[in-house]
Amino acid sequence: MDHSPDGPSVVDLESGRLRGAVEEGITVFRAVPYAAPPVGALRWRPAQPHPGWSGVRDATTDGPSTPQMYTEGGDPVLGGHGFPPFDDDCLTLNIWTPAADEGRRPVLLWIHGGGFVSGSGSLPIYSGDTFARDGDLVVVSINYRVGPLGYLYPGAECDGSQDGEGQARAGNFWLTDQLAALRWVHENIARFGGDPDTITVAGQSGGAISTAALAGHPEARRMVQRVILQSPPLGLHIPDPAEYLERTAAYLRFAGAKDTDELRELPWPRLIEAAGALFGHTTRWGYWPTPFLPVRDGVTLHEHPARTLLDEAAADIDVMIGWTREEANFGFALDERYAAATREQVVARIADVFEGDAGQVYDAYARTRPGARSVDVLMDLITDELFRVPGVELAEGRAAAGHPVWAYQFDLPTPVYDGRLAAAHCLELPFVFHNFDKWSHAPLVRGIDPAVRDGLADAMHRAWIAFVRTGDPNHGGLPTWRRYGAESRTTMRFDSVVTSVDDLAGHSRTLHEARTRP
């Protein structure tokens, strides 16, 4: 920390000097580079070290977000999940700290979600000030490459490396970004008042997949003590290189390029335009759209991220995992294309993933919702297969091995759109961050009773702080939250009344024991 006339918000790093700002008592550093700009020849290359800078770098304003699709006016659920300016030069992070001193405070590293195609660590909804202020934590949020710039898999040409048969090798540039950011935090966060030996990585949705992938990375694992997985879509099929290259070929056609070299010559808006076309090409009825995915390349990612926290090497990592009760309502409840879904259509969709009588599975889902429509059964199916059941399976696996894991389900519904969204994907976020003032643009949170909202937000926010600080989410405002065990299967239900429930997801867990395994 520099106590010179430059002021208390100037920090010296090996890469250069940074000047932050004090915002409502919290010292904030914005748009701090953690890797070299991935432009020109560095497009579709692993993240490289930043060369540094001379003089004092201003870190008081947000930098550009990673290029992504953007619609003026936003969407009907979140009101938007990424806003201009966008630029290729986007590999930066933000830091919130009570003081850039020698306090060695626990560190929370937040990885945003967004279906692998959207989001930014600079969004106000992900501001770390509440955690820094309420928990005496140092909080870091990151920007990383999404969409085609982060998740396109070009094959062997991407880094010039091949195996003995010329097969494709390294990919997952998003993961190399996140690893570079984690490495930067581990090496530098002590200068911002943080403890590099007490780092919790947390993420939601695609960011939770990232968190799991990092926890399984040999280098990252040594730097991570705890992870929080909010709504990880662990049920996604993660393709191998051969599978992904078919998708890459389609993307090249949409972009009008014959190879990656030609793609590198295109301006990023053209790349994003082609990504929109890939959406239509890969969308399947009744499935969450994912035009871009991680790839099991055998170099940066060796196995499905769902497996990484079951390995013995991850045994000592503290894990919190949870989901919302109606995750899939986020993407399907307001879509008129699904409102008229028939029983026959949904039964056919069930047959994709279940052995045996799909009609019986449909009926089992319908019985859990009085007056259920076919689209309701479909949404419950997608919630289970993509989020809830694989989350439970991860908790079951860790519990059986005696590894620490806490589980939760978020149940509070939002009343907006006549309640059709219910407890949808993303709804827990403003409660976890306890920052509803930052969500005024989001229809998702409208109409929630303020008394219920604020009480639940306090309970969840404090639980997250307790977990980051101690590895245990219990605090005085909660019922006792026991670790998920092979017998009790304790799960915390976050609703207008917070309760601890044994085997909360038992119906889904037992029903999906008959589903087809990949």
The residues near 442 (Cβ < 8 Å, ≥ 6 apart) are 77, 78, 79, 125, 430
- CB–CB of 332/382 below 8 Å? yes
* Distance in angstroms (rounded) separating the CA atoms of residues 224 and 318: 9
Determine how many CB atoms are found less than 10 A away from the CB of residue 513: 7
Residue 486's identity, in one-letter code, is A
Is residue 420 helix, strand or coil? coil
Tell me which H or E stretch contains 492.
strand 490-494
What are the structure tokens assigned to 14, written together? 């090996």
205 is catalytic: yes
CA-nearest of 67, 92, 37, 241 to 158 is 241
Q: Report the C-alpha dihedral over residues 36, 41, 45, 51, rounded to 10 degrees.
A: -20
- CB–CB of 306/335 below 8 Å? no
Q: How do beta strands 138-142 and 105-111 pair? A: parallel
327 is catalytic: yes
Which one is catalytic: 186, 217, 425, 434? 425
Which one is catalytic: 205, 210, 231, 508? 205
Q: How do beta strands 499-502 and 405-410 pair? A: unpaired
The residues near 5 (Cβ < 8 Å, ≥ 6 apart) are none
237 is catalytic: no
Active site residues: 205, 327, 425
